[in-house]
Structure 1
Amino acid sequence: MTPLLEIDDLVVDYVSADRTVRALDSAALTVSAGETIGIVGESGSGKSTLGAAIGGLLPGAARVVSGSVRVDGADVTTLRPKQLRALRREQLGFVFQEPIGSLDPTMRVGKQVELALRGWGTRADVLAHLERVKLTDPERVARCYPHQLSGGMAQRVAIAMAMAGRPEILVADEPTAALDSQVRDDVLDVIFALAAESGTTILWLSHDLPAVAKRCSRVVVMYGGGVVESGAASAVLAEPRHPYTKALVRAVPAAVADGERLTSIPGQPPVLTGSAPGCVFAPRCPDVLASCTEQRPPLVSAAGRDVLCHLAEQTVEAGR
């Protein structure tokens, strides 16, 4: 069966007048229908670029150097503008970090939801979609302009619009980052409940590892523009195998006992100008080998886990 989403060796550069920055360096990901996937990693790891590439939403400064992004078999990187608009309208949904910024400030909320229903929805349909996202007074919300809503309410409206077309894939890019902690769980509850109801696949871009472990079936760990580890969320975050994943887990505040210090990751995330010659995590890795700086690590697949690491290769070979 053809995967719903296939990202194969995707390389994306951001090009300016004075330099080129490599945002994705041979990123690869395969997603089946109905999965709930958490994509985690530090800022600058490539999460948002990967999410934007799925919908052909890369900014003008971005260049797809090589690789492909296939949604239901169609390569997003080669689609014409009309085909791309149809793909976004019929198969994809997006929820972004800043809820107010994702809505049209000149249009009432009800009209925006109606447009998301492709103009086919009645007033009752609009109100029903606002009710689905747990807005207590949908009539009033429908009459409002976005600036009249709180951040949590605006994000619920954005979710209602994203889910109105029952998308096959929902890309949620840090959807609760701008919200008060008290409403974050409520908003996530709405996203995952609606996705389960519609059979929608979720790609949730997040920094919140405990929440990803709780809500997602699979976790994908990104670093330096590539996927360094992936597998069942509960297994990967409980027993990480890649040194970077281990460092991320140790840095989670919830994992530290009272009185203990957080273990930060030394150094800084890389700013690549081209393809990394070896392992991109090598300068920060406490277990670095001589081969790590010279050779790109292989993808090691074992027991439902994919790990991009020379150490993982040695472990597998030792067990043979």
Structure 2
Amino acid sequence: MIAPTVPGRPVVEVVDLSAEYRTRRGVVRALDRVSLAVAPGELLAIVGESGSGKSTLSQALGRMLPRACHLVSGSVTVLGRDVAALGASEIRTLRRESLGFIPQDPIGSLDPTMRIGRQLVLALKPLGKACDPATLIALMESVKIVDPERALGLFPHEISGGMAQRVSIAMAMAREPEILIADEPTGSLDAQVREEILELIVRLTRASGATLIWVSHDLGAVRRWCERVVVMYRGRIVEDGPTDQVLIDPEHEYTRTLLAALPTTSSIPHIASALADDGKEPV
């Protein structure tokens, strides 16, 4: 079993972490002496362009790096455990009992040969969770799936991308993780569904008291939902702080470049004003 989290102690600590991809064209540095601490219950966004290292960092937390990627130096501690020092069974226990993952491609993450209900049962049973029809229906209802009984009998190719992502959220949250890692969870969804999914993730995370680590390139959504933002560039963290402070008054040139690329006339300040005007607050 994973030791319970000590109040106030970081649930994630990354210290001077460096990682490299070894390719036919040579070595590519994916992470360059990255250090990061994440507090219990924090809603943290990691942002940056493609290739900035944000996904590599999130994968390192669960020791799920691709085979081509190798850690060069540094350490990753999750819930007080040195991830690199864990044996095969211990890392599986950590992933199963304490970490939840929401993928970028929800359809691809589901078994195409198996009905949704069966996949939920297989996810819950090893944890000793109830797997009866009433429990499965309640789980589907918790992620706002209409006609849950019908949905449980469908195959992945028979559901929409938005429903598939709701199923993946249900599977992740049913584990009651202490840390939820969402890697571009709405990248393949249209704008309306994207907002609904993000609101669902944040609501469920806050209700459970879990820590959310959300990898994203959507600065407007990050401003809407997250308390703290980390900006990555070329494998390094170049800015880290409260979301409003970083996105409205950035210190690093790269952050300013990201903001300038937003499809608005004046970037984040207008987003902030719009949110204030409509009276909405993060859930």
CA–CA distance in structure 1, aligned partners of residues 125 and 197 of structure 2: 24
The code of the aligned residue for 2:209 comes to: G
CA-CA distance at 1:153 after TM superposition: 0.5
1:167 counterpart residue number: 177
The code of the aligned residue for 1:188 comes to: L
1:295 counterpart residue number: none
1:40 counterpart residue number: 47
The runs of 5 or more residues in structure 2 that have no matched partner are 1-7, 268-283
8 Å Cα contact 2:43-2:228 kept in structure 1: yes
The code of the aligned residue for 2:37 comes to: T
| 1:71-110 correspondence runs (5 A) | 71-110=78-117
CA-CA distance at 1:169 after TM superposition: 0.8
CA-CA distance at 1:17 after TM superposition: 4.2
8 Å Cα contact 2:9-2:40 kept in structure 1: no
Deviation per CA, 1:20-59: give whole Å up to 9, x if none.
1111111111000000011111110001101111111111
**Greater shift in the superposed pair: 94-103 or 10-19:** 10-19
**TM-score between the two structures when normalised by the length of structure 2:** 0.88
CA-CA distance at 1:114 after TM superposition: 1.7
CA–CA distance in structure 2, aligned partners of residues 131 and 115 of structure 1: 19
1:156 counterpart residue number: 166
CA–CA distance in structure 2, aligned partners of residues 137 and 234 of structure 1: 39
CA-CA distance at 1:106 after TM superposition: 1.5
1:249 is aligned to 2:256? no
CA–CA distance in structure 2, aligned partners of residues 125 and 234 of structure 1: 40
Instruction: Say how many residue pairs are matched.
Output: 257
The runs of 5 or more residues in structure 1 that have no matched partner are 258-320
CA–CA distance in structure 2, aligned partners of residues 255 and 83 of structure 1: 50
Query: Residue 64 of structure 2: which of 42, 57, 68 is its match?
Result: 57
CA–CA distance in structure 1, aligned partners of residues 43 and 264 of structure 2: 22
CA–CA distance in structure 1, aligned partners of residues 180 and 42 of structure 2: 11
The code of the aligned residue for 2:161 comes to: G
CA–CA distance in structure 1, aligned partners of residues 266 and 105 of structure 2: 30
| 1:178-193 correspondence runs (5 A) | 178-193=188-203
Residue aligned with 2:246, SS: helix
1:205 is aligned to 2:212? no
CA–CA distance in structure 2, aligned partners of residues 196 and 62 of structure 1: 33
**RMSD over equivalenced CA pairs, Å:** 1.2
CA-CA distance at 1:135 after TM superposition: 0.2
CA-CA distance at 1:16 after TM superposition: 2.9
**TM-score between the two structures when normalised by the length of structure 1:** 0.78
Deviation per CA, 1:207-230: give whole Å up to 9, x if none.
111110110000000011111111
CA-CA distance at 1:116 after TM superposition: 2.0
Share of identical aligned residues, percent?
Answer: 53
1:128 is aligned to 2:138? yes
Residue aligned with 1:254, SS: coil
CA–CA distance in structure 2, aligned partners of residues 23 and 37 of structure 1: 20
Q: 1:139 to 1:215 in 2, by over 3 A?
A: same
The code of the aligned residue for 1:192 comes to: V
CA-CA distance at 1:78 after TM superposition: 2.1
